[in-house]
């Protein structure tokens, strides 16, 4: 996972090089039953998001019907069919985080970033998403930015947290 | 055997059976909905829940296997309450406009309502889906009616192996459809219509062609010609209460005349013609292959437009294996607007050709740009068997009371070989009846002219046909065993095509029909369909064949005359122009032409 992320940050990689890398991932996994999620996960890591064209590429290479690929992509909120910002903020709205004010964090972030859930800021810096439980209930309410978890967040801390990314 | 108790009745059931099946075998009816015998068993709708003593929760009886000593109750207060709530929840997300739905009176959801009997709508709220996908010429998807039973998903993926329908999104926003809910005509749907035969409600149906056909009939200046496919006569009766497997050929022809069609022709005539053209194409390829000239073998049949679209999407590099023959009803259309138009002195622009087909893919086929001659489409409209039944009812015709009548000539006479085009294995048998005789000068040596290993519902059937003592022209085939294979359903097609793709196919000739069982259970045939019904329709078709005086295509006197008067010779110039076609490479997942 971390390896994929590092490579992802490389802006110089051309479209074609990305597809070649995704094709390598597919070749490695396609014979193993039930590896579609793994392939999609890594493809999103490399490409940033999973547009229809890329889903089609994966379907044709794996022989898994496109409707099934898209079914999985649209089922899991982790997968995105739209381009993402440089950093992805995910606010946990699992039961514990919800009870401890997750909703307020979302509202404050919407104000600060001037976007809705699922959208990306106009400068391409942040994408705002909602997650249902990240398994950090003891640290509720929690948010993640990229791979970093922020614990016991409250709306007043948010501005400072965002500053770290400018 | 396992012994259990259902509703205080001690019953025996086979091990591995579900509670639902065991109950059914003992005449205990458990209301169920998404379950479809032999097709779909997913426990998606939960309507079939029962109480099993010792189990904490209610169990879906279509999924729970019987166990020794099990005590089941299907009608307790708890079960009835749950069933009612489940039904009401399904209903809360379903439009209540039954009177304007074409599934009215033939809807499984309505039937369920009759069993469950609710007297109020307790749950009312937002509807989850509203979109209607009318993009394809074959199939209409009305998502507002979909109750997410997923039968179509099973048929499309597990049975046909096409996989264009799947669950998209989740929760309240769930829809069944192609990737990202793309329109049907933009993906690799082959339009086989098998999904429309299992949909319990009006969500998946053939695209309506009744309006345009009525319009043509009502237009006094239009000569409206109808033809019926071989499979229609063996199933249409089911729509009027006849037992599956009842042949209604004569009544069907009378009904078509009563509706107002000017000429009633038989696609079976064109099936005979297909045998002459395709048989010659096969022998030409075999001759070239044996004389070292190189020819693409196996030759594969091209009568089934669902199969054709499938190969174009999935095996685009193998389309050279396909026979260039148009499907029989397209041949008929082309002849009606040329040969017959000349004969009766009518301008083809004033003609409207309607094909009654067991098939939804035929509705797409007539829109293909290559299916035109002289600026006119070969066929103007396709009705499914189900649509014809609706048309007959709409016209106020009492079908069961009709007298029998016969097709018009010269395009209405057919041999038994034309009849069996309806069933899997039939096209191959019909072809061999003619090819064997051309090559050896003798009738093929099979009892009742049936090649037994090619008859029946198995997925892949094969036969070896030894050629001995041929006529001089085919001396090179002496001692050669012709290997043929037959499959129906696209999953079987995939198996045979992968062999072809690897260059390992041992066959000379392959018949492929897109729907399991062949056209007798095509996507436009009456519901329901199961193997028992397929078998009965198949037997009816073979009975129709055996009842004919002439059973070999090359002996059809009107075919012989057609070549003398008009076409001159098989694979000749006129044939190529009117009766043959070409194919298109398409994208694997998305419709892409080129």
User: Are residues B156 and B29 part of one domain?
Assistant: no
Orientation angle between helical segments A66-75 and A36-47, nearest 10 degrees: 70
Measured between CB atoms, does B168 come within 8 Å of chain A? yes
Q: Where residue B583 falls among pLDDT bands split at 50, 70, 90?
A: very high
Higher pLDDT: B411 or A134? It is: B411
A10 has pLDDT over 70: no
Please tell me the distance from the alpha carbon of residue B129 to that of residue B121, in angstroms, as a whole number. Answer: 19
| B395 CB burial (10 A radius; 0-12, 13-18, 19+) | middle
Please tell me the distance from the alpha carbon of residue B264 to that of residue B251, in angstroms, as a whole number. Answer: 12
Contact B166 A74 (CB under 8 A): no
Please tell me the distance from the alpha carbon of residue B368 to that of residue B293, in angstroms, as a whole number. Answer: 32
User: Are residues B165 and B239 part of one domain?
Assistant: no
Residue B391: both structure tokens together? 């048309």
Q: Where residue A12 falls among pLDDT bands split at 50, 70, 90?
A: low
User: Are residues B237 and B147 part of one domain?
Assistant: no
Q: Average pLDDT of B82-93?
A: 95
For residue B65, the enclosing domain spans 2-116
Asked which of A47, A75, A103 is the last residue of a domain, the reply is: A75
Model pLDDT for residues B220-258, shown as the tens digit of each residue: 999 999 999 999 999 999 999 999 999 999 999 999 999
Per the domain annotation, does B594 fall within a domain? no
User: Are residues A97 and A150 part of one domain?
Assistant: yes
Model pLDDT for residues B267-317, shown as the tens digit of each residue: 999 999 999 999 999 999 999 999 999 899 999 999 999 999 999 999 999
Q: Average pLDDT of B155-171?
A: 96
Per CB-CB distance under 8 Å, the chain B contacts of A68 are 157, 163, 166
User: Are residues A106 and A68 part of one domain?
Assistant: no
Contact B180 A52 (CB under 8 A): yes
In terms of CA atoms, which chain A residue is nearest residue B184? A67
User: Are residues B441 and B339 part of one domain?
Assistant: no
Instruction: Clarify whether B539 is annotated catalytic.
Output: no
User: Are residues B50 and B14 part of one domain?
Assistant: yes
Average of per-residue pLDDT values in chain B: 96
Per the domain annotation, does B122 fall within a domain? no
Q: Where residue A133 falls among pLDDT bands split at 50, 70, 90?
A: confident
User: Are residues B468 and B502 part of one domain?
Assistant: yes
CA distances from A147 to A6, A75, A107, B149, B455 (A): 12, 22, 22, 39, 62
Asked which of A75, A107, A133 is the last residue of a domain, the reply is: A75
Per the domain annotation, does A80 fall within a domain? no
User: Are residues B560 and B460 part of one domain?
Assistant: yes
Asked which of B173, B188, B206 is the last residue of a domain, the reply is: B206
For residue A25, the enclosing domain spans 2-75
User: Are residues B453 and B418 part of one domain?
Assistant: yes
Measured between CB atoms, does B158 come within 8 Å of chain A? no
User: Are residues A58 and A26 part of one domain?
Assistant: yes
Q: Residue B19: which CATH number?
A: 3.10.20.740
User: Are residues A68 and A43 part of one domain?
Assistant: yes
Cα A151 to the center of its chain, rounded Å: 19
Contact A66 B187 (CB under 8 A): yes
Per the domain annotation, does A16 fall within a domain? yes
User: Are residues B315 and B364 part of one domain?
Assistant: no
A41 has pLDDT over 90: yes
Cβ contact B150:B176 at 8 Å: yes
Q: Average pLDDT of A10-37?
A: 86
Cα B246 to the center of its chain, rounded Å: 18
Nearest C-alpha of chain A: how many angstroms from B482? 33
In terms of CA atoms, which chain A residue is nearest residue B171? A75
Strands of the sheet containing B139-142, edge to edge, are: B132-133, B139-142, B204-206
pLDDT at A39: 95
Nearest C-alpha of chain B: how many angstroms from A123? 27
Q: Residue A129: which CATH number?
A: 3.40.30.10
Model pLDDT for residues B366-402, shown as the tens digit of each residue: 999 999 999 999 999 999 999 999 999 999 999 999 9
Cβ contact B325:B360 at 8 Å: no
Q: Which of B209, B519, B536, B553 is catalytic?
A: B519
Nearest C-alpha of chain B: how many angstroms from A2? 28
User: Are residues A104 and A38 part of one domain?
Assistant: no
Please tell me the distance from the alpha carbon of residue A16 to that of residue A57, in angstroms, as a whole number. Answer: 12
Model pLDDT for residues B391-450, shown as the tens digit of each residue: 999 999 999 999 999 999 999 999 999 999 999 999 999 999 999 999 999 999 999 999
Nearest C-alpha of chain A: how many angstroms from B296? 26
Instruction: Clarify whether B365 is annotated catalytic.
Output: yes
User: Are residues A28 and A56 part of one domain?
Assistant: yes
Please name which of B179, B149, B184 lies closest in space to residue B35, comparing C-alpha atoms: B149
Cβ contact B574:B566 at 8 Å: yes
Per the domain annotation, does A82 fall within a domain? no
DSSP B220-274: TT-EEEEEE-TTGGGTGGGGGTPPTT---HHHHHHHHHHHT-SEEEEHHHHHHHH
User: Are residues B344 and B451 part of one domain?
Assistant: no
User: Are residues A91 and A71 part of one domain?
Assistant: no
pLDDT at B593: 63
Reduced to 3 states, what is the DSSP secondary structure of residue B14? coil
User: Are residues A42 and A101 part of one domain?
Assistant: no
Per the domain annotation, does B123 fall within a domain? no
Residue A139: both structure tokens together? 């640290």
CA distances from A14 to A5, A8, A18, B178, B200 (A): 16, 11, 6, 30, 49
Model pLDDT for residues B4-59, shown as the tens digit of each residue: 999 999 999 999 999 999 999 999 999 999 999 888 889 999 999 999 999 999 99
Per the domain annotation, does B293 fall within a domain? yes
Residue B460: both structure tokens together? 């892949």
Q: Which of B161-165, B246-250, B589-593 has the lowest mean pLDDT?
A: B589-593
Please tell me the distance from the alpha carbon of residue A55 to that of residue A73, in angstroms, as a whole number. Answer: 9
pLDDT at A33: 83
Per the domain annotation, does A96 fall within a domain? yes
Question: A63, A64, A69, A71: best mutation site toward chain B, by most B Cβ within 10 Å?
Answer: A71
pLDDT at B129: 82
Asked which of B64, B87, B116 is the last residue of a domain, the reply is: B116
Please tell me the distance from the alpha carbon of residue B508 to that of residue B454, in angstroms, as a whole number. Answer: 15
Number of domains in chain A: 2
User: Are residues A149 and A101 part of one domain?
Assistant: yes
Cβ contact B353:B379 at 8 Å: yes
Complex ipTM: 0.91
> How many CB pairs below 8 Å do chains A and B form together?
56
User: Are residues B496 and B427 part of one domain?
Assistant: yes
User: Are residues A119 and A66 part of one domain?
Assistant: no
Q: Which of B21, B277, B278, B591 is catalytic?
A: B278
Instruction: Clarify whether B149 is annotated catalytic.
Output: no
CA distances from B392 to A148, A154, B208, B401, B537 (A): 69, 71, 15, 13, 21
Please tell me the distance from the alpha carbon of residue B148 to that of residue B126, in angstroms, as a whole number. Answer: 16
Per the domain annotation, does A103 fall within a domain? yes
Model pLDDT for residues B317-345, shown as the tens digit of each residue: 999 999 999 999 999 999 999 999 999 99
A3 has pLDDT over 80: no
Please name which of B145, B51, B45 lies closest in space to residue B85, comparing C-alpha atoms: B45
Model pLDDT for residues B167-202, shown as the tens digit of each residue: 999 999 999 999 988 999 999 999 999 999 999 999
User: Are residues A53 and A120 part of one domain?
Assistant: no
Q: Residue B493: which CATH number?
A: 3.40.950.10
Number of domains in chain B: 4
User: Are residues B372 and B228 part of one domain?
Assistant: yes
pLDDT at B592: 72
Higher pLDDT: A11 or B553? It is: B553
Please name which of B309, B340, B308, B343 lies closest in space to residue B325, comparing C-alpha atoms: B308
Question: In what helix (H) or strand (E) does residue B81 lie, and over which residues does it extend?
Answer: helix B77-92
Identity of the residue in A52, A66, A71 whose CB atom sits nearest the CB atom of B167: A71
Residue B302: both structure tokens together? 């091209």
A2 has pLDDT over 70: no
Q: Where residue A11 falls among pLDDT bands split at 50, 70, 90?
A: low
Q: Residue B187: which CATH number?
A: 3.30.70.20
Asked which of A44, A75, A106 is the last residue of a domain, the reply is: A75
Q: Average pLDDT of B157-164?
A: 96
């Amino acid at each position: 996972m971390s390896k994929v992320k590092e490579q992802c940050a490389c802006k110089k990689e051309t479209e074609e090089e990305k597809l070649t890398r995704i094709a390598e991932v597919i070749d490695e996994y396609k014979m193993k039953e039930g590896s579609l999620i793994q392939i999609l996960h890594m493809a999103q890591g490399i490409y940033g998001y999973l547009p229809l064209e890329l889903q089609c590429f994966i379907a044709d290479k794996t022989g898994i019907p496109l409707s099934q690929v898209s079914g999985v992509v649209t089922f899991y909120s982790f997968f995105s069919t739209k381009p993402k910002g440089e950093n992805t903020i995910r606010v946990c709205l699992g039961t514990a985080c919800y009870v401890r004010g997750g909703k307020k964090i979302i509202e404050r972030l919407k104000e600060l970033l001037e976007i809705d859930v699922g959208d990306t800021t106009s400068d391409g810096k942040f994408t705002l998403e909602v997650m249902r439980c990240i398994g950090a209930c003891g640290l509720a309410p929690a948010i993640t930015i990229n791979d970093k978890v922020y614990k016991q967040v409250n709306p007043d801390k948010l501005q400072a947290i965002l500053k770290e990314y400018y | 055997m396992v012994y259990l108790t259902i509703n205080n009745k001690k019953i025996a059931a086979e091990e591995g059976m579900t509670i639902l099946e065991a109950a059914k075998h003992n005449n205990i009816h458990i209301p169920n909905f998404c379950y479809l015998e032999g097709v779909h068993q997913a426990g998606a709708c939960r309507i079939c829940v029962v109480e099993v003593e010792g189990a904490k929760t209610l169990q879906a009886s279509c999924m729970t296997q019987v166990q020794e000593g099990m005590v089941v109750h299907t009608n307790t207060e708890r079960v009835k309450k749950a069933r009612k709530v489940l039904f009401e929840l399904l209903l809360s997300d379903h439009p209540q406009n039954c009177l304007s739905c074409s599934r009215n009176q033939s809807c499984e959801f309505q039937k369920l309502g009759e069993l469950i009997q609710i007297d109020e709508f307790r749950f009312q709220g937002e509807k989850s889906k509203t979109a209607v996908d009318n993009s394809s010429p074959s199939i209409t998807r009305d998502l507002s009616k979909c109750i997410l039973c997923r039968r179509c998903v099973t048929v499309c993926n597990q049975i046909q192996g096409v996989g264009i329908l799947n669950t998209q999104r989740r929760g309240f926003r769930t829809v069944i459809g192609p990737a990202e809910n793309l329109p049907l005509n933009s993906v690799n749907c082959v339009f086989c219509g098998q999904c429309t035969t299992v949909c319990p409600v009006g969500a998946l149906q053939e695209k309506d062609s009744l309006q345009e056909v009525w319009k043509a009939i009502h237009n006094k200046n239009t000569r409206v010609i109808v033809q019926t496919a071989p499979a229609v006569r063996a199933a249409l009766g089911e729509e009027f209460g006849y037992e599956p497997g009842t042949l209604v050929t004569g009544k069907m022809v009378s009904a078509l005349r009563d509706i107002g069609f000017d000429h009633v022709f038989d696609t079976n005539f064109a099936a005979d013609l297909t045998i002459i053209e395709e048989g010659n194409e096969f022998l030409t390829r075999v001759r070239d292959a044996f004389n070292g000239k190189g020819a693409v073998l196996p030759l594969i049949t091209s009568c089934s437009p669902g199969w054709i679209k499938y190969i174009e999407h999935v095996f685009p590099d193998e389309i050279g294996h396909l026979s260039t023959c148009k499907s029989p009803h397209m041949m008929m259309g082309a002849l009606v607007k040329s040969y017959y138009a000349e004969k009766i002195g009518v301008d083809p622009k004033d003609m409207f050709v309607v094909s009654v087909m067991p098939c939804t893919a035929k509705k797409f086929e007539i829109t293909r740009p290559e299916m035109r001659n002289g600026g006119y489409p070969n066929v103007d409209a396709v009705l499914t068997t189900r649509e014809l039944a609706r048309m007959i009812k709409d016209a106020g015709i009492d079908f069961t009371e009709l007298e029998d009548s016969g097709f018009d000539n010269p395009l209405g006479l057919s041999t038994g070989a034309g009849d069996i085009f309806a069933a899997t294995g039939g096209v191959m048998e019909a072809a061999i009846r003619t090819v064997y005789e051309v090559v050896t000068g003798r009738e093929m040596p099979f009892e009742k002219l049936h090649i037994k290993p090619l008859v029946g519902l198995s997925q892949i059937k094969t036969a070896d046909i030894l050629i001995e003592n041929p006529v001089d022209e085919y001396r090179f085939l002496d001692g050669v065993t012709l290997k043929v294979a037959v499959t129906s359903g696209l999953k079987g097609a995939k198996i045979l095509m992968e062999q072809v793709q690897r260059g390992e196919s041992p066959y000379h000739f392959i018949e492929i029909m897109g729907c399991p069982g062949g056209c007798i259970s095509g996507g436009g045939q009456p519901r329901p369909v199961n193997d028992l019904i397929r078998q009965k329709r198949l037997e009816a078709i073979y009975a129709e064949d055996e009842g004919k005086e002439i059973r070999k295509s090359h002996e059809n006197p009107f075919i012989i005359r057609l070549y003398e008067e008009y076409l001159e010779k098989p694979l000749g110039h006129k044939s190529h122009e009117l009766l043959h076609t070409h194919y298109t490479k398409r994208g694997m997942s998305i419709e892409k032409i080129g």
